[in-house]
Amino acid sequence: MSVNRKHGVSPALENRMKRSAIDLIAHAGKALNMDHVAMGTAVVIFHRYYATHSFLLNDKFLIAMACLYLGGKLEDTPKSARDVITACCMRRYGPEVAGLSLRNHDFLTAARERLFLAERAVLYALRFDVAIEHPFGTMLAALRRPALTRVWQEWGQAHPGSVSFQQMCINLLNDSYKLPLCLMFPACHVALACIWTVMKVLRIPTRLSDDGVTPWWQEHGMQHEDLKEISCMLLERLYHADDGAGGTVGPVSAACPTPTPPKQLRAVGVKRKAGETGGAEEYNDLFDELLA
């Protein structure tokens, strides 16, 4: 039994609390012009921390703020404690209420001290194991493979003016950070599963290969059952309205293997101009719409 379940936190409540905290990290990070990798690191650290700590005993707002502060430092894009506190308070309380508090010297002094204490608590909880592997590079490399290059080129030609195949993959990868997949699967497997899921959604054959023999997704030791498991989690936990997790785009499917309508993937994530197909090569804004 997980620590949150021992303290009476239901799965639905836990999901809502995680999503609100990740929303804070995403929007505050955007306000700080933080690198998308730094924000991704902050989210992964947040998931790791609450895998062993209760939401009832640890303030999710304070921990999320500490994770954002720590993520910037770990990825060599540090932000000052004052700036992180300001961005997080603005997101949580709104500019009017936050503005009054942030002008108070005693409040800022106390907030900085709590931030530093929370940062140390997170580092001790993780035993200073803060090496984070992200899936972005794997997705980019996979989309450049000859077999998948043909897929997104043909999709773009057949659907001019619609969201590109690459962008739908990026959208789903963005949303995957809402789930603790980083605790369960290698980052490269999550990236490949996101591409595979989009192909299933669009009813594109998934057993393509560069050499005509080995499927494109087997390069990293990925098994077909792993693809289906991750895909099921993505569709059910992210887009199913009845899971109690506060899905943002409504119901997708009651059964995992059934493809979700393509518009569901297009409704979430980074938004680009109609017909733009360069998303796979330009992912500086991957977290802009993490919780759209």
Quick: pLDDT tens for 160-190. Answer: 878 888 889 998 998 899 999 999 999 999 9
| Overall pTM surpassing 0.95 (yes/no) | no
pLDDT for residue 287 is more than 80? no
* Amino acid at residue number 155: W
CB 81 within 8 A of CB 115: yes
Fold of 3-125: Cyclin A; domain 1 (1.10.472)
Q: What is the pLDDT of residue 1?
A: 67
- Structure token digits, residue 6: 């021992």
Query: Any idea of the CA torsion for 128, 83, 16, 126, to the nearest 10 degrees?
Result: 0
Residues counted in the chain: 292
Better pLDDT: 195 or 154: 195
Cα 214 from Cα 227, distance rounded (Å): 15
User: Is residue 28 pLDDT above 80, yes or no?
Assistant: yes
Residues 191, 220: contact at Cβ < 8 Å? no
**238: Cβ contacts below 8 Å, ≥ 6 apart:** 175, 176, 178, 179, 247
Q: What is the pLDDT of residue 264?
A: 47
Alpha-carbon Rg of the chain, whole angstroms?
Answer: 20
CA pair distance 122, 120, nearest whole angstrom = 5
Q: How distant, in Å, are the alpha carbons of 59, 165, 199, 210 from that of 205?
A: 46, 14, 7, 14
- The residues spanned by each domain of the chain are 3-125, 136-281
